[in-house]
Every structure is written in structure tokens, then in C-alpha cells.
Structure 1
Amino acid sequence: MIDQLQPPPQKWYENSILIKLTVITLIILALLIPSSWIQNLVDEREDIQTKMGSAVSDSWSGSQLIQGPVLVIPYNKLPGAACNATGYIYLLPDDVHIKANLKTQPFKQGVFDVTVYTSATGVQGNFAQPNLAKLGITPGQVMYDKARLLFGIADIKGLLTNPLVKIQGQNYTPEPASSDVNPFVQSLQVEFPLPVNGNIAFNYNLDLKGSNDINFLHLGKTTDVQFKSDWPTPQYNGRYLPDTRDSTSNGSGAKWHRLYYNRPFPQQWLNDNSVLSNPKSIAEATFGVRLQPPVDEYRKVTRTNRYATLIILLTFVSLFLTELIRKQPIHLFNYTLIGAAMIVYYILLLSFAEKIGYNYAYLISSTATIGLISFFTASLLKNKGAAAMFALILSVFYGFIFIIIQLEEYSLLVGAVALFFIVAALMYFSRKINWDNH
């Protein structure tokens, strides 16, 4: 009698659920390595965008800082001497009123977008007479006929038109300020005869272009700024938040009213053109607006990539439970292929986001990845119904991540609640599994 061939005995570890689960965990940990590579790629592309933005700013115009005005009055240090030495009185305004109306436009540089703007900015206010007694100067020392009004902007090439300055009802055309009295890095000046008595009224308009930011320097005893823009999501800069602000889908606006009590500059001083160029003082007295989306494309991709481990973990757990419930083992190599597809997803997302924006890129990348994994699962399980259910599970996972990315203030709350229900569902489906031997 010929003995029938017996199948080789199964080794003890081939049916061990815990050992397979351990190997799957190791696969998930191994997939963290390419996930970190993808994050490095995102950081690199974002750095390139920053450099592109700097290049656009260099050729268009950079962030603007509206500075001034400052009244500079020359005086004779040594009255009556044969050769008089000239000194300068620096005087800040009593009140400054600024109205800035911005219109933005996207500037395309390859696959990168930079926000640029044009601004119609009006500046008006008043100067009081200098307190000569406090400065230790007599009226006879003051050269009233050679007074200068100076004002500055951060990037002078951003001027679109030649500004016209009106002082006491008279029009003046500004010119670049001389370095001996210039209190700013870049400024313009007008020379005019200063009245001996009474306040000095001024106003001028600046037609500017800039990129990303517009800021204002708090110089007056009172500084009022009114800002309007077609940009719907402004971010406010500096030490001073606006007193009132509003934002709609059509644009935004804000108002500031600042007093001189916390201004880091004196009202008047002598012979020092560096008072207004101190970086620390400028930082303390600057406020304004950054024209930046709340979450740009690269930040969205970065936030999405942070959930890579969670998505892979939930997918593998779902697949593992499917194979246990249906009693159809899936080879570990197939787990690795599915994990690889989920890693490639993030490269697709990044490349498409640069071209068509994050939302459409997410839809295309998610649909392609879910479709690929579902077809692969259908061929493994030989069951279209199970593959369709797995596709639904993946859609829920990717939809859940998309919703979290769109949210800002409530993303943590929504994510925590959703994860609670996901864990509850996994507990429900795993309650009848024999983990000792299946």
C-alpha cells in the first residue's frame, strides 16, 4: 500500500496572530522612514518658494513700512560766531492719520505664487511748534526758512508716482533726503519756510506697490491708521492689535488708535539721526498686516503628512481585521505594497498641489490611491464586496483627514472625537476574535 503524501506540517508561527501583528507593526515603523523623506521634500519645496518670493520682492517691491513724517529744523549752535556750526532739531508730529487701501494680485513664478499688492495710502496730520526752552535754544538760533519735512518707506522703488506734499496749503515736490539729517534708511524730504507760531499741517498721498506685508510706524502723539483690502484673511503684525477689525469673503478692514505713552521715541531731540533707526525701537513701534493665507499649500501638505502614520496604522488594522474575520490570510509582502502606495500618495499630493491647489490635489491623489488599493485588495480577497467595503473605509479615513486640515480652531476637538469613534469601532469588530489562535 502506497502511503498517501501528507502535507508538510505547519510551523507554529505561521498561524500566530500576535507574531504577524508584530511584523505588521515593524512594517509600519519602517514606512516612517520614507514619510520623513517626503517631509524633507516638502520643506525643500517650501524653501524654494520663499526664495522665489524674495526674488519677486527684489524685482517688484518688498514689504512696505510707512515711516514718518518727521520735522527737521536747523539751528545755529554758536550764534554770533564767525563760523557757525549747524545743529538739527528733530520733532515728531502731534497727530498722524493714515488711510491705506490695498488691492492684491497673485504673481506666478513657475509653480509658485507670491502675493503682491498696490496701495493708495494717504497721510495727514499736524506738528506743534518745538519747545525751544526745553531744548536750550533761543528763537534767534533757529533757521525757520530751512525747515525740512521727511518721510520714509521701506522700499523706495515701490513708489508708483511722484508724491505731492502739501504743507500749510502749499504744494511741494519731495526729493531724496541727504544722509546728514536722514532719520530713516530710505526717505524723501521737502524744504519749506516754517511759521514762527501755530501748528504746521501736512498731507500727502503715496501710491505704492509691495509684497506680503504692509506696516506702519507709530510716530505721532496719536497715530490713527485705517486699513482696507480685498484680501479676506489678513494676519496682524507687531505689538499692537487693531482696535476694530472685520473680515469677509470680499475683503477685510482694521483700525488702530495709538497713543504716545508706550511709544519708544521722544517727542523732540537734538542732533541725532539714529533715534528712529534703532532696530529694537522700530520693532516696538511697528504694526500692520500680513497678506498670507491662513494655511498655504505647503503647510497643508505638511499637516497632512503628519497624519501619515495614523492613516497607515488604521488602514493596516482594518485590513488585518478583514483577513481575520473573512479567514483569508494576506501575505506580509502585500501589506508592504499597500503601505508603499500610501507613501506615494503624499508625493502625488505635493506635486499636484503646486499645480492645481491643495483641494483638487487631495481629491485626485486620494481617489487614485483608494482606487489602486481597492483593486489590489479585490484581487487578493477574490471578493468585490469586501474590496468595496475596504474602499469605503479608506474614503472615510481620507475624508476625515481632509476635514481636519480645513479646520483651524476646532481641528483638535474634531480629531479627538473622530478618533474616539474609530477606536470604538475597532473594539467592536475585534471583540470576537480569538487572539491566541485563529
Structure 2
Amino acid sequence: MENQTQLPQQKPSFFQSNTAKMIMVGLLCLFLLIPLELVKGLISERSQRKKEMTQEVNTLWGSDIKFYGPVLSIPYYDYESYNVEDVNHNVTIQTKKVIKQAYFFPEILNNYSNIKKSKPLKRGLYENVVFTSIMDFDGNFEKPNFEKLDINPESVIWDKASIIVNTSNLKSIKSDLNIALNNQPFAFESKANNDSNFGTLESNLFDYKALQKEDKITFKFQMKFNGSNSVQFIPVGKTTNIKVDSDWNSPSLMGTFAANEENKKIDSTGFHAEWKILDINRSFSQQHTEKMPNLNEYLFGVKLLETVDQYQQNERASKYGFLVIGLTFLVFFLIQSISKINIHIFQYTMIGLALVMFYTLLISITEHSTFSIAYIIAAIGVIVMIVLYSISILKDKKFPLFIGISLTALYTFIFVIIQLEDYALLVGSIGLFAILGAVMYFSKKIDWNS
């Protein structure tokens, strides 16, 4: 028998090893971050466009409602000193009589506001959620104490008193403006104001002494607004009671003062909130001279949130893009390594681009439908495309079926995370932990030395 010489087996080159293939797939994942970032930029651009259109519509309909008042304004005479210099440069001090204003905040201020969601205003592709608010005010002013302001009561011009109301949204007021003082009607008129945050309404002048009864003046008035985004108040009453009812089911109670927890109610039909604020809860007095103080830091109220909009959901979905691409490539790499089927880097690239296309489909369909419907359509389209492509690559129906099930589970998992808010981190962490365990289990069958 002739001796047969065994030829040594040729060792595969480095570029044919699993390590080299894994490096190339990893580099491709990093390369696909470029189109993924471009998609995120598109989502951001469309979101900014919506904000601009929303701002434009809100400007026409009515923006945030901020309310400050009512305030009792009573003028008084005062004397101002000034220097006069003659031709010989001798300086003498002279005085002149001027009229100044004293401002008094109410003793009791009650408000009940009913906020109703209006029919969304559509501008192009975008719908803007707006509301109407009916606000009822009542309360009383105590007899003004000029001594606290160091003003001589004899210099007070009692018959030139007026009521002032400041609000941020004059042009969106949709009701006749009248105030009842001790049951006598007075009309409001617009007045110039240097404060860019507020416009001013002032009642007709009246004689305070002739109107007052029992050292107080009661007031009552109603205002109807078109608005958007929020309704806020400044608690100028010595005791301020605010009640708000609305059919809006996603409010955010905001500002310096917290609502009373025992009276707060939020459910699917709307919300109810109440505030009671005393003068000892804030650091400004009930009377002022010269001009009313800037009290914007004491604003409080409710912000009427729009639930997570379509662009926020798209943005959250795109943040998981790298995870989807990486896990999909990992599934193909494990199949390739276990079955010894060769998958070219070009084929990986086509699969990666299909996964990126999911997000462009998602954003474009969402603008004409809901996010949930768009997500289902885009996911089905991408999964079917990748499964059919996998059949031609892997020449087998078993592995493409596994890929289809894996992608379906992955997209479902991400959709659930996007919908969750309080438990998103917990569910995401558990899901990733389970995925890592599955990868560790299947990767143990790979011969990393080949």
C-alpha cells in the first residue's frame, strides 16, 4: 500500500474570518448613522414648521391668557420740588402741584373659569388645539387706607376713581366689557400700557365716596376669551379664590402656587382645580403708588398640554434607530455564522437602508394619519421587504421566518416603549436585558476561531 501524504489544510485568510465580518458589519452600522441623522433632521424641521404654523394660528385666535386685577385706582395731589437756576447761577427750590395715582388691591377676589376645547383650527397639514374661556369675577374693595402710603386724605381726588384690569390677550376678548360696582354698571375702555406682557382696561371714572356702602365696594364682571396654551392669574386679592373647570384631560398645573390637593380632579373627561391664596403667601402689599408693580413672578394657573404630538413620537422612535439596525444586523450575522451562509456586505447595506426608510415612511404617513396607523403601515412594509429579500439571500424559508418574527417583536417592543411615559425606562431596560440574554445564548454556538 502506498503511503498517502496528507496535505496541510489551508488556514482561511483574516478577511474571511468571523472577526473580520463582524468588524465590517459594525463599521456599516456606524456609517448608517449618517442617513439616520438626516432623517432626525427632517423630523426636527417638520416639527419646527408645525410650531411656526401653530404660533401663527394662535396669534390670530388668541395666545396665553394672563390676568392681573381688578385694581382700584384713585388719583391724589402731590407736590414735587425742582431746582431753578437764574442768570446769575443762583439756584432756588420751587414746587409744583402734580396728580399721582394710588392703587389698591381687593380684599376678596373670587374667580370661576370654565375652559372648553374648541374645534381644532387647521392650517395646511397641521391642526392647532385652542379653547374658549368664560371667566367670572367677584369680590370687594375695603375703604382705601391712604395713611399707609403717607398721603394726606384731603389731597385725594375721590370723584376720579376707576377700576383697572390688566390682561395679556385684549384682542381675543369676545364679550362686552362691563363691571358692576355695588350693582351699578360701568364700561371698560382700553388704555395705553408700557408693560409688554399686559394690555390695560379701565372703567369709567366714578365718585368713590358716593358709591361706597359700609366702607366697601363690591364688584362683579365676566370676560370671555379665545385662547391657547395656558390660563394664568396673579393673586392680587388679600384672599384670592380661583376655581377652574375644563373638558381638557391633559392639564399641567403651573406657577408659584400649588392647587389644593383635596379638591383637584383629573380624569378622561376633564379636570377641576382650586387655589386659595392669602396675602401672607406672597410678598407684596395691598396698596401702591406711582405705578403698579411687576408681579409676573407670582403668575400661576394651568397649562393645557397637547398629548405627545406626532413629531415628538417620531423623534422618540428615531432615537431607537441605531438599536434596530444593530440588532437586525446581529440576527443576520448569527444566522450567517451558524449556517455558514455567506452574506455580502452590499446585502447588509441594502437591509440597513430599508431599516432607515422605515422612519421616512413613518413621518410622511403620520402627517396624513395618526402615529399608530403610520407605525403599523411602515413596520409591515419594511418587515415584508426584508423578509422577501432574506429569502433570496438565505435560500431557505426557515431563517427568513425567524427574521420576520424577530423584527415584528422588535418593532412592537419599541412601539410599546414610545407609548409609555412613567414606565418607559423600566420596560426598556427589561427588554434590552432579555435581548442580551438571547444573543448570549445563540452566540455560544459560533466558532470564533474560524
SS of residue paired to 1:240: coil
Q: Please say if 1:373 is aligned against 2:386.
A: yes
1:326 pairs, out of 339, 350, 353, with 339
Task: Name the CA distance, whole Å, in 2 between partners of 1:121 and 1:340.
Answer: 55
* One-letter amino acid of the structure 2 residue matched with residue 382 of structure 1: K
Pair 236,157 (structure 1): closer, same or farther in 2 beyond 3 Å: same
Aligned to 2:63: 62
Aligned to 1:248: 267
* One-letter amino acid of the structure 2 residue matched with residue 247 of structure 1: I
Q: Please say if 1:436 is aligned against 2:449.
A: yes
Larger Rg: 2
Gaps of 5+ in 2: 1-9, 81-94
Aligned to 1:26: 27
Task: Name the CA distance, whole Å, in 2 between partners of 1:306 and 1:395.
Answer: 18
SS of residue paired to 2:130: strand
Measured against aligned partners, the alpha-carbon deviations of 1:210-269 in whole angstroms (never above 9, x if no partner) come to 112221122222222111111111122222232233221111221122222343532111
Task: Name the CA distance, whole Å, in 2 between partners of 1:330 and 1:290.
Answer: 54
Aligned to 1:137: 151
Aligned to 2:77: 76
Whether the aligned pair in 1 keeps the contact of 2:265 and 2:272 (CA below 8 Å) is yes
Q: Please say if 1:301 is aligned against 2:305.
A: no
SS of residue paired to 1:22: helix
Measured against aligned partners, the alpha-carbon deviations of 1:380-436 in whole angstroms (never above 9, x if no partner) come to 112223212211100110111111111111100010011111111111111121111
Q: TM-score, normalised by structure 2?
A: 0.89
Aligned to 1:3: none
Measured against aligned partners, the alpha-carbon deviations of 1:103-125 in whole angstroms (never above 9, x if no partner) come to 11322111122111111111111
Q: Please say if 1:89 is aligned against 2:102.
A: yes
Whether the aligned pair in 2 keeps the contact of 1:98 and 1:121 (CA below 8 Å) is yes
Whether the aligned pair in 1 keeps the contact of 2:192 and 2:199 (CA below 8 Å) is no
Give the Å deviation of 1:200: 1.7
Aligned to 2:135: 121
Q: Identity of paired residues, percent?
A: 34
Give the Å deviation of 1:151: 0.7
Task: Name the CA distance, whole Å, in 1 between partners of 2:127 and 2:197.
Answer: 31
Whether the aligned pair in 1 keeps the contact of 2:338 and 2:445 (CA below 8 Å) is no
What is the aligned length?
A: 420
Whether the aligned pair in 2 keeps the contact of 1:63 and 1:155 (CA below 8 Å) is yes
Aligned to 2:397: 384
Moved over 4 A (4+): none
Aligned to 1:46: 47
SS of residue paired to 2:446: coil
Pair 183,402 (structure 1): closer, same or farther in 2 beyond 3 Å: closer
The 5-angstrom pairing of residues 356-371 of structure 1 reads 356-371=369-384
Aligned to 2:84: none
Q: Please say if 1:174 is aligned against 2:174.
A: no
Aligned to 1:239: 256
Whether the aligned pair in 2 keeps the contact of 1:89 and 1:268 (CA below 8 Å) is yes
* One-letter amino acid of the structure 2 residue matched with residue 260 of structure 1: D
Aligned to 2:16: 15
Task: Name the CA distance, whole Å, in 2 between partners of 1:343 and 1:395.
Answer: 16
Measured against aligned partners, the alpha-carbon deviations of 1:289-332 in whole angstroms (never above 9, x if no partner) come to 22222422111111111111111111111111122222222111
Aligned to 2:300: 287
Give the Å deviation of 1:31: 0.7
Task: Name the CA distance, whole Å, in 1 between partners of 2:300 and 2:249.
Answer: 19
Whether the aligned pair in 2 keeps the contact of 1:152 and 1:184 (CA below 8 Å) is no
Gaps of 5+ in 1: 1-8
Task: Name the CA distance, whole Å, in 2 between partners of 1:316 and 1:269.
Answer: 71
Aligned to 1:257: 276
Q: Please say if 1:162 is aligned against 2:181.
A: no
